[in-house]
Amino acid sequence: MSSTNNETKVYGMLAEYDNADALIAGIKKAKEAGYTKLDGYSPYAVSGIADALGFIKSEMATVMLCGGICGAICGFLMQYYTNAVDYPFNIGGKPYNSWPMFIPVTYEPGILTTCLAGVFGLLALCGLPKLYNPLFNVPAFERSTIDRFFLFVQANDEKFDLQATREFLLTLNPLSVAEVPE
Amino acid sequence: MADHVSTEGHGATDLKVDLSSYRTKALLVGIGGLALFGIAAGAMVATNAIPTKQIFASYSVGFMYWVAVTLGALFFLSLQYLSGGKWGILMRRPFEAATRCFPLLILFFIPVAGSFFAGKNSPYPWAEFYDHIQHETNEELKKEELESDYGRRVVEYSNPTFSLVRAIGIFVILGGIIFVLNSTARKAEENPDENAAADARARQKVWGSWGIILYALCGMVLITDWVMSYEKFFASSMFPLIFHANAMLSSFALALLVLIGLRNTALKGIYHPSEQIHLGSFMLAMALFWVYTTYSQFMLVWAGNLPEELGYPLKRASEGWKPIWYVLLGLRFFLAFGLLLFREVKSNAKAMRIISIGLMCMVGVDIFNWIEPTFDRSQMGYAPYWLLDIGAIVGLGGIWVWYFLGQLSKYPVLPVREIYLLKGHHDEQH
């Protein structure tokens, strides 16, 4: 972790842009320069940012699939236990484990847990809830939800150097470059 | 930013395709299939290996397959006129061309109509029963049979003449809506008066809504008359939906094959992997719809546990037929579902071509499974009657595809006046 002269820890460096194309171009140049721990912030979803950052695949699909399978198995076992083990009841001469009738109820918790896994998985993967985010120490960052685009270089990037990174970001033609104190 | 779709250079002339070499191949395949059907049928009947009714039943498998493809195209054509989705711009012309194959179905229907009146050689139990009643000399027995539930049903509804009248009605209604949809499309595309063309596009929405309603109602009647009545007592309100699921999937797969086939020629620069991903997701929904309808029918029969309904699933779950269920469930549902979940697969043209062809084959297997297990084969030995089914599907299919490709090459493969919508669509994705 880097420090300023008065020993305040630095969380990273933030470059501000006024359009998405400039941000995407900045991310690409930073990647070419060897920076790996980058992030991009925009007031609306811009798919090119994820591509430029190299987010090839989201883990959400796996998380939701696992959640759904767990829910479906639990739903089926719940019915099996109730109908075939705990309270066996002859209905129309059908077997106690009347599995064709269990499928709709198996499906429902499957869908429910898929959605729950989606919601909570997304929060977990995004690191939320986050009660304190150092990025808000930079006043300009408030406009990230209004009309500004930000490129963030983390201080724990191997290539990060306070002075060199500032100078590099200035070559990317941002509106401003700011240190992010931790 | 991503590359833009360049549509400026695509005029009506650039978008017309010459498919004459494919047409010749399709016709040859069709003749080969019909020859297989004819030779196999002749040989097996001559040696008493199969009864005559088997020929009608096998022909019916091939006939129903191409009915499904044609009517599925009518559904999607109507749907996309009504909803106006951009996805339909790409697929509109293949669907239009497929619906214009409808006159062929009338021709193909003649042997099926003949089977209505074939008496004891008819594969339909009601036709056989009706013939039996006509020739019953014992008046007391005749009266008793006519007053039975099944007797009343046959006399009042499922008799050969009324079945033929219903079939003619279906052909007139569906032929009419197909004619109107296609003629409105021509006006929307070719009328030099821009206002008149805009009016025609507005009317497409109205006719599209009628197309969906008539497709659903006529589809329900025809699948009940021509397929479900193979089983003497079986009745399922899910069966028409299973037919619709097959019709949608087969026609959609065919249209996708056309797009994939033209991606490097007429559709170069227009048809992108991003569009293919959306169409692949649509196909995934249809794979799910099939398993939903098929399972629902099974579950309702299981829950009802009624003797007249149980025959249908029990025959198909018996030894010899069971592997078809495993094939359908394994390939048509689990494999297709597993593959179509992935964007990498959906964006790959070659993979989607294989999946489309595979799913079209599975529709054929499903239709085979509706009809063939109905008959008691204990007296038939090991005669390869299934050669007739393959011959019928391929034979009628060759002629259908030959005609389809002719219709497809008559007009530009995209609606030129609405092609700008694809440009907007592609930009929107990036």
The β-bridge partners of A179 are A13
Six-digit token string for B31: 């003749």
pLDDT-based confidence at A161, cuts 50/70/90? Answer: very high
Contact residues of A toward B, CB < 8 A: 21, 47-48, 61, 92-94, 98, 100-101, 103-104
Question: How confident is the model at residue A6, as a pLDDT?
Answer: 53
Mean pLDDT value of segment A66-85: 97
Give domain limits for chain A. 10-57+133-181, 60-125
B152/chain A closest Cα distance in angstroms: 30
> Minimal CA–CA distance to B418: which of B270, B209, B280, B252?
B270
**Out of B299, B305, B430, closest to residue A103 by CB:** B299
Q: Which of A48, A98, A103 sits opposite B430 (nearest CB)?
A: A48
CA–CA distance, B59 with B250 (Å, rounded to integer)? 19
Interface of B with A (CB under 8 A): 1, 295, 298-299, 302-303, 305, 341, 429-430
Note whether A47 contacts B1, CB cutoff 8 Å: no
Are B388 and B52 spatial neighbours (Cβ–Cβ below 8 Å)?
no
How many angstroms away from the CA of B236 is the closest CA of chain A? 17
Q: Tell me, letter by letter, the H, E, C secondary structure of chain A.
A: CEECCCCCEEEEEEEEECCHHHHHHHHHHHHHCCCCCEEEECCCCCHHHHHHHCCCCCCHHHHHHHHHHHHHHHHHHHHHHHHHHHCCCCCCCCCCCCHHHHHHHHHHHHHHHHHHHHHHHHHHHCCCCCCCCHHHHCHHHHHHHCCCEEEEEECCCCCCCHHHHHHHHHCCCCCEEEEEEC
Into which CATH architecture does domain A10-57+133-181 fall?
2-Layer Sandwich (3.30)
* Nearest-CA distance A61 → chain B (Å): 10
Contact B303 A101 (CB under 8 A): yes
Interchain pair B295, A93: CB under 8 A = no
- Judging contacts by C-beta atoms under 8 Å, the chain A residues touching residue B303 are 100-101
Task: Provide the 10 A C-beta neighbour count for residue A3.
Answer: 13
Mean pLDDT per block of 10 residues along chain B (430 residues) reads 41 77 96 96 88 93 98 96 84 96 97 95 94 90 91 93 97 97 92 88 93 96 96 92 96 96 88 89 93 94 90 88 91 91 92 96 96 81 85 97 96 85 52
Nearest one of B49, B80, B87 to B277, comparing CA atoms: B87
Give ipTM to 2 decimals. 0.72
The residue assigned the tokens 């309904």 is: B309
The reply to whether residue B295 touches residue A103, judged by beta carbons under 8 angstroms, is yes
Tell me if B378 sits within 8 A of B6, measured CB to CB: no
Which of B50, B26, B171 lies closest to B110 in space, CA to CA? B171
B302 and A92 within 8 Å at the Cβ level: the answer is: no
**pLDDT greater than 80 at residue A10:** yes
B302:A93 CB<8 A: no
pLDDT score recorded for residue A11: 95
Q: A65 to chain B: nearest residue by CA?
A: B341
Give me the residue from A21, A92, A100 closest to B299, CB to CB.
Answer: A100
**Spatial distance between the Cα atoms of A107 and A102, rounded to a whole number of angstroms:** 9
How far is the C-alpha of A37 from the C-alpha of A32, rounded, in Å? 12
Residues of B in contact with A111 (CB under 8 A): none
